[in-house]
Amino acid sequence: MTAVMQDVGTPARPRPFHVGVPALISVATIIVLTLVITWGWGQPERFGSDGIYRAVMNVAVLARLGPVYLAALVVWPVMRLRGASMPWAAVGALSSAITFGIIGAIGSLTYFPPAQAAYYVLNPMVVAAVGSQVGCSAIGEVYVRWRRGGLAALGTWRLWAVAVPIGVAGFTLMYVGVIWDGGSHWFYLWIRGFMALFGTGQ
């Protein structure tokens, strides 16, 4: 019965590009906003006035947080409803957080050697982004089950036994990464790991 409900509304042969479009849009948005921020940061003369410069930078930085932290609220359910399996939907949902981490690592190459720059991917903001996307994916799957099977699909204990722990774990990771004391606790662990791997640099 559960298997039948999962198949309702799922295309028999989903087209990969059609399924992956939501994730591609989210990743492209992050890249474009990052390019705008990189091009304009510290260059108010490029905008004609300090007021426009501050407005554009503030909007770009805040707008980028959307796909970085919350993309899975849209990406997961849309991909699933277009026929994506859970593993592929997970790849799509995490793609924005991973892209954010890779961009940060590439940027850190200007002052870190490659191995240390790669470690930058584990910084608190990226870890929090991964956690948030995991939590949002759990919410997205509940929505998918409702769309496919109605309220009856939400009455199964298995759905909640999986979705709730995953959602709690994801949002806890986000909380530890950036909210709890400004992420200082994870930052401390991150720095300790950095020193254990690379020393103090002195």
pLDDT at 4: 39
Task: Determine the Cα–Cα distance for residues 101 and 85; give it in Å rounded to an integer.
Answer: 24
Distance, in Å, from the CA atom of 46 to the CA atom of 96, rounded to the nearest integer, reads: 28
Q: E strands of the chain, at which residues? A: none
In terms of DSSP H, where are the helices of 41-85? 50-70, 72-81
Q: Looking at residue 185, what is its pLDDT?
A: 87
202 pLDDT higher than 60: no
Q: How confident is the model at residue 131 (pLDDT cuts 50, 70, 90)?
A: very high
**For range 143-172, the mean pLDDT:** 92
Mean pLDDT of 98-117: 90
Residue 19 tokens, joined: 């399924």
In this predicted structure, the answer to whether residue 13 has a pLDDT above a threshold of 70 is: no
Q: Is 168 helix (H, G, I), strand (E, B) or coil?
A: helix
| Domain segments of the chain as ranges | 2-198
Look up residue 199 and give its amino acid.
G
- Read off the pLDDT band of 11 (50, 70, 90): very low
pLDDT at residue 98, as a whole number: 95
Tell me what the mean pLDDT of segment 164-189 comes to.
92
Interval 191-199 mean pLDDT: 87
The span from the CA of 94 to the CA of 131, in Å, is 9
